[in-house]
Amino acid sequence: MSKKENLNQWFYETMLKIRLFEEKIIDVYARGLMPGLAHLYIGEEAVATGACATLEPSDYITSTHRGHGHCIAKGGDLNKMMAELFGKKTGYCRGKGGSMHIADTSIGILGANGVVGGGIPIATGAALSSKLRKSNQVTICFFGDAASNQGSFHESINFASVHKLPVIYVVENNQFGISVHQSRHQNIQDIADRAVAYGIEGKVIDGNDVLAVKDAVGQAVAKARSGEGPSIIECKTYRWRGHHEGDPNQGARYRDPKEIDDWKKKCPIARFEKYLKSEHGYTDETFKATRAKIQQLIEDAVEFARSSPEPDLEVALQDVYYEGGRN
Amino acid sequence: MSKKENLNQWFYETMLKIRLFEEKIIDVYARGLMPGLAHLYIGEEAVATGACATLEPSDYITSTHRGHGHCIAKGGDLNKMMAELFGKKTGYCRGKGGSMHIADTSIGILGANGVVGGGIPIATGAALSSKLRKSNQVTICFFGDAASNQGSFHESINFASVHKLPVIYVVENNQFGISVHQSRHQNIQDIADRAVAYGIEGKVIDGNDVLAVKDAVGQAVAKARSGEGPSIIECKTYRWRGHHEGDPNQGARYRDPKEIDDWKKKCPIARFEKYLKSEHGYTDETFKATRAKIQQLIEDAVEFARSSPEPDLEVALQDVYYEGGRN
Amino acid sequence: MAQMKLVEALNSALREEMERDERVFVLGEDVGLYGGIFGVTQGLYKQFGPERVIDTPISEAAIAGAAVGAAVTGMRPVAEIMFIDFITIAMDQLVNQAAKMCYMFGGNVSVPMVIRVPAGTGRSAAAQHSQSLEAWLMHIPGLKVVCPSTPYDAKGLLKSAIRDDNPVVFIENKITYNLSGEVPDEDYTIPIGKADIKREGQDVTLLATGNMVHYSLKAADELQQEGISCEVIDPRTLRPIDYETIINSVVKTSRLAIVQEACRTAGPGCEFAATVQERAFDYLDAPIIQIAGMDVPIPFNPKLEKTVVPSVEQIVREVKALF
Amino acid sequence: MAQMKLVEALNSALREEMERDERVFVLGEDVGLYGGIFGVTQGLYKQFGPERVIDTPISEAAIAGAAVGAAVTGMRPVAEIMFIDFITIAMDQLVNQAAKMCYMFGGNVSVPMVIRVPAGTGRSAAAQHSQSLEAWLMHIPGLKVVCPSTPYDAKGLLKSAIRDDNPVVFIENKITYNLSGEVPDEDYTIPIGKADIKREGQDVTLLATGNMVHYSLKAADELQQEGISCEVIDPRTLRPIDYETIINSVVKTSRLAIVQEACRTAGPGCEFAATVQERAFDYLDAPIIQIAGMDVPIPFNPKLEKTVVPSVEQIVREVKALF
Ligand SMILES: Cc1ncc(C[n+]2csc(CCOP(=O)(O)OP(=O)(O)O)c2C)c(N)n1
Ligand SMILES: Cc1ncc(C[n+]2csc(CCOP(=O)(O)OP(=O)(O)O)c2C)c(N)n1
Ligand SMILES: [Mg+2]
Ligand SMILES: [Mg+2]
């Protein structure tokens, strides 16, 4: 279902896609099918979904180590994503990138990023580029609460504010940088307050409310497109899983499991289901049907990934320098 | 005259020392006696003077490429400074540092710095150290308006705010980073507003008013010493000379000479003389006598530097690793 | 003597140094409550509290810079940068500040700090979490660079690094964290700047660091079967380098193969090869070879990842080709 | 043909490329209104306006990163980092992002950007404004590294760098800015990856970059007087390296001396020495020597500064000792 046809359905399907994709990763990772690190986005689906709802395919995003959600919301191909996570030849990066380095520039995904804060200057440069090319594109730059302490955050937003670049800095405040709670990594509650330092607008919203995200980001996107420059939108949310699959007991070293339970009650998907029911006449049956459809897409992606070949060894030696593109 | 005995006299002498030292450099540099780069502080004397007035000898400062004023105000030895500028063996750094690298840890000067923003993390670490050692020392970190756009600014102040470190970030807003006016390098007018980003206090003051600087920094120092954490104090001021001696026509490429004239009317020393006259009964004679005394110190320093030997060539190979100290 | 893993040896070095000298403290991302992403600082937060085991914001430049500032004012910080790849963000503080202060300031300032950096491949962590950048650090006057390969060396060298009056970059090869070995119960140090002959031999010298030491030892076993006797040297310190031990070995064996994970071009092995050929030219019976990481970023797929760094088989093959 | 300074040659390369291709733009600190601290961008602001000649805040990481982001979205940025010493602040964007994106993303993304960096000694600018850090950049797969020594090479190579689809670090040896030379009036490029024989000779090969090319040529004149015929090669590109030209020369001369300003240990010369001894082992009549910067930070005092980098006399002396 496309955004234009039926936005509510798109919201629902996109959040579910992310959730079910990630839940599948838990299983796949535990079974040793996915090498490397898996940083899951479960609980934060409304942010990527609401934000990307406001974009055109030609618009850009930059993403993070926790990037599956952004990629799916911007229209990434589930098969190529899953194959990449498996390290297969058919993956987005021919098996050379993995979870932290998926990109698809044909739909504006300028890359996940293994460096915390690493995508922020890149987003800024993409926005500069679209300004210079007068292409009317905007860029959404996703990053976490802890990334807002990197120098790259400060330098980039200052740069963008001087040149009034069309970029929206979307902070996914899930309250932790690995194990360090926000209260221990910064002396403020609302990261959006940092907008003051750049003379731009900053807004705090409930990041588990897909409609609120869409509205706030949508306004910022409209501003950016009309040449009024960057904004910071802070989305308060929470990650349900450990920092990565392998973080013992979902992070019990640094947080109370009860906190997780409390946040599960604020599940962005359950919340949106309630809304769909009460405002748009959705029923449990429609939910079930949608869920089954999406689950099938995920199973297909796993099957695609599983049955895809490993990259040939010489692939390891290719693409150090640009060879003309592979797609 | 020491601070404790007669603060007003100390203010006056210190500002004059800086002014006359720098005016001498203009001459010395033009005659080719000083190699490398000379970034002069003329016009900004009230900032270093007012700020350092609040410190004990055991307190720390970090300085910048434009560091002579900070060094003098913190009690640096004029002979050793001048000799260092001449590259002589008797200089602070045995001729190996030059203008941008003078340090004297025995009186808390942790170094000028050739890297814009490079001293900010170091000041933060010094403050962390004094907190850990419970030594009751504070650190003043000097830097320019343009340095406030470096990532190191952001990371350091965030760090200090989390740990409530005893450090005062003194922004010398002389309105330019080399040729780029503040309005072209950041989208705000008051850099002190950036304090909001760290949940700390920020204040803007007239940086040409030595008393105002002393008051504002003094309050911040008191706060820092009592464990209440860091502050940002922004001092609005102006550099009269070019970015360095060699910047054509005192920066005519990027600013209207009239602007310089307007600021000369706000000379911090002339202004303080007026105050001393009207409030403390100083006369032109006392000014003249003080000036003559200071001028002599500067001449002595030049003579000391001039007549000092060049470092032996093997000095170039020493001190790559610590050899136990040279003083 | 106790048997322990390398990660435990590092942990006990930190603990003992913090007990011995209250100027020593630890800072870095997730080193406190979490105990370090690789567990090196496990338990220290509990024992020494949040003031001496500091969880920092994600701000690598500030971490390194805070260490510099603390070091020049009387403390002995041990900072962790979570992956060597992120040292890229801290290079100004490390290279322009820490490494140069003593010199720039005329010898009057010492900077006794350690930066610990996990490095290397083997965890499918891809191009931004798997580099071996020791060559950069070896190039900088004013830095010392250490890279242990065994629990014994790790503990003794980390203590020396902490007691050194200069900035030391302490490189921990991630894949060796779980290697076990004997470690004395009593306090000991291993001097910075001393290589170790891990195996004596006659026919060829293998020079290797980190995990490549263990690969080289395995290769040496296999080569012994074929009648080739390998001397395996671990320089342990990459700056300053103990050329005396290395040259003596090459004078004896007349052949040198350098084994490293780092990329070949302008990598650490080039330093060794360039210096040894200059100092032992007349003793060499064959060109010095480098069995090195390929000149590519590290790929994610584990098979590809294995392909681009040396293997035991490759070492055996290439060393045999020297004869 | 016109006679012009190297700084003017760079300026005209930028101007012509900006005229030719509207995707090319310039960004950096004081590159606009001021025309660049060394004057390389003089006049461009006036001609092309503030949108294509962007004065940035002092934010090296953001400058490099903005270039990366612009490059992957269809532009061809040319960023200036005012001194190579400050590239330390931009290394994440350069090394972890720009250099690795094409590879990490499976070959589908190109990053056509240039970072220009003035480098080297000679201006009494002391330890934080005088480094030669090319060895770091040479070590990174995915980067190309260029370093011209003449106005002709500078212009032709900068054009090639701008037209290249990969990130290129363009090192400008500060002391050569004022050197004059002939530059063609018409458009021309010099291929990246091709060395240039600056002087033909028979007895020894001198390999040098930047200002050391000119020192080596002077030394070659003097050595000629004493009957030693030097071949002087400027690799011009430091990654990828044209080993064909270099090895052919060494095969002919049987002797190689590398001349560089950079510090010796783990410096650029080690790469050359290591590779040449491996590939031309049987042709060498003497050890490959490096006439290199000493392993110290650069001191401020001009006499000390001169002491720590090679001089013409030192080259003459050390090359003579090879015979
Ligand atoms: C520069 C850098 N430093 C450290 C890390 C290790 N690391 C990976 S994710 C992470 C926490 C990031 O927190 P946040 O930005 O809030 O994002 P979240 O994981 O919560 O989504 C850290 C420290 C890294 N990848 N890059
Ligand atoms: C990291 C870094 N980037 C660039 C420079 C070159 N540079 C020296 S001073 C300066 C301007 C600094 O402006 P500001 O911080 O306002 O201090 P001011 O010179 O006005 O006192 C620049 C760009 C440098 N020294 N370090
Ligand atoms: Mg977070
Ligand atoms: Mg300024």
In chain B, the residue whose alpha carbon lies closest to the alpha carbon of C53 is B132
Contacts of B158 in chain A (CB under 8 A): 149, 185-187
- Would you say residue C174 lies in a domain? yes
Answer for the pair C281, C288: CB distance below 8 angstroms, yes or no. no
Whether residue B315 lies within 8 A of chain D, CB to CB, comes out as yes
pLDDT for the residue numbered C232: 98
**C-alpha angle B73-C166-D131 in degrees, rounded to nearest 5:** 75
- Would you say residue D160 lies in a domain? yes
Q: Are residues C46 and C132 in the same domain?
A: yes
Which residues of D are the active-site residues?
129
Residue B2 backbone phi and psi in degrees, to 5: -85, 160
**Are the beta carbons of C97 and B115 separated by less than 8 Å?**
yes
Mean pLDDT of A193-197: 98
Mean pLDDT of A289-299: 98
Range of the domain at D81: 2-183
Ligand 1 pocket, CB under 6 A: A 65-66, 114-116, 143-147, 172, 174, 176-178; C 29, 58, 60, 82, 86, 89
pLDDT at C177 over 90: yes
Contacts of A154 in chain B (CB under 8 A): 149-151, 153-155
Q: Are residues D119 and D201 in the same domain?
A: no
Pocket flag, ligand 2, residue D84 (CB < 6 Å): no
Report the SS3 class of residue B18. helix
End residue of a domain, out of C126, C158, C183: C183
Q: Are residues D8 and D157 in the same domain?
A: yes
Q: Are residues D143 and D224 in the same domain?
A: no
In chain D, the residue whose alpha carbon lies closest to the alpha carbon of B315 is D304
Catalogue the long-range contacts made by C41-45 (C-beta closer than 8 Å, 24 or more residues apart): C41/C11, C41/C14, C41/C80, C42/C11, C43/C11, C43/C15, C44/C11, C44/C14, C44/C15, C44/C18
The count of domains in chain C is 2
Mean pLDDT of A134-143: 98
**Tens digits of per-residue pLDDT, C135-151?**
999 999 999 999 999 99
Give chain A's domains with CATH numbers: 7-307 (3.40.50.970)
Q: Are strands A180-181 and B139-144 parallel, antiparallel or unpaired?
A: unpaired
CATH of the domain at C214: 3.40.50.920
Name the band, by pLDDT with cuts 50, 70 and 90, for residue D213: very high
Q: Are residues C160 and C291 in the same domain?
A: no
* Closest residue to atom 13 of ligand 2, CA basis: B177
Whether residue D270 lies within 8 A of chain C, CB to CB, comes out as yes
Pocket flag, ligand 2, residue B178 (CB < 6 Å): yes
Name the band, by pLDDT with cuts 50, 70 and 90, for residue A1: confident
Pocket flag, ligand 2, residue B191 (CB < 6 Å): no
Facing residue for C166 by CB, picked from B96, B128, B322? B322
Distance CA D14, CA B191 (A): 35
End residue of a domain, out of D183, D208, D231: D183
CATH of the domain at C130: 3.40.50.970
Contacts of A147 in chain C (CB under 8 A): 58
- Would you say residue C55 lies in a domain? yes
Q: Testing the interface with B: which of A158, A198, A201 to mutate, by most B Cβ within 10 A?
A: A158
- Would you say residue D188 lies in a domain? no
Report the percent of chain B where pLDDT is more than 70: 100
Mean pLDDT of D252-280: 98
**What six digits make up the tokens of D144?**
């190309």
- Would you say residue C242 lies in a domain? yes
Q: Are residues C129 and C15 in the same domain?
A: yes
pLDDT for the residue numbered B2: 87
* Closest residue to atom 5 of ligand 1, CA basis: A116
pTM equals 0.98
Q: Are residues D201 and D157 in the same domain?
A: no
Mean pLDDT of A177-199: 98
Residue A18 backbone phi and psi in degrees, to 5: -65, -50
- Would you say residue D190 lies in a domain? no
Residues in CB range of D291: below 8 A, 6 or more apart: D257, D258, D259, D260, D310, D314, D315, D318, D319
Pocket flag, ligand 2, residue D126 (CB < 6 Å): no
Whether residue B317 lies within 8 A of chain C, CB to CB, comes out as no
pLDDT at A2 over 90: no
Q: Are residues C120 and C165 in the same domain?
A: yes
Pocket flag, ligand 2, residue B145 (CB < 6 Å): yes
Contacts of A149 in chain B (CB under 8 A): 154-155, 158
pLDDT for the residue numbered B289: 97
Name the band, by pLDDT with cuts 50, 70 and 90, for residue C1: confident
pLDDT for the residue numbered B1: 72
- Would you say residue C169 lies in a domain? yes
Q: Are residues D265 and D162 in the same domain?
A: no
Mean pLDDT of A215-219: 98
End residue of a domain, out of D183, D204, D237: D183
Q: Are residues D151 and D200 in the same domain?
A: no
Which residues are within 5 Å of ligand 4 (an ion), measured at CB?
B 144-145, 174, 176
Q: Are residues D15 and D139 in the same domain?
A: yes
Mean pLDDT of B113-133: 98
Which has the closest alpha carbon to C286: C248, C253, C247? C253
Q: How far is the CA of D92 from the centre of ligand 3 (A)?
A: 21
Q: Are residues D250 and D142 in the same domain?
A: no
More confident residue, A159 or D1: A159
Q: How far is the CA of A44 from the centre of ligand 3 (A)?
A: 11
Tabulate helix, strand, coil % of chain B (nearest 5): 50, 10, 40
Name the band, by pLDDT with cuts 50, 70 and 90, for residue D163: very high
Answer for the pair C79, C64: CB distance below 8 angstroms, yes or no. yes
pLDDT for the residue numbered B298: 98
Facing residue for C106 by CB, picked from B92, B127, B155? B92
Strand partners, A169: A141, A232
Pocket flag, ligand 2, residue D29 (CB < 6 Å): yes
Mean pLDDT of A98-123: 98
Q: How far is the CA of B237 from the centre of ligand 4 (A)?
A: 9
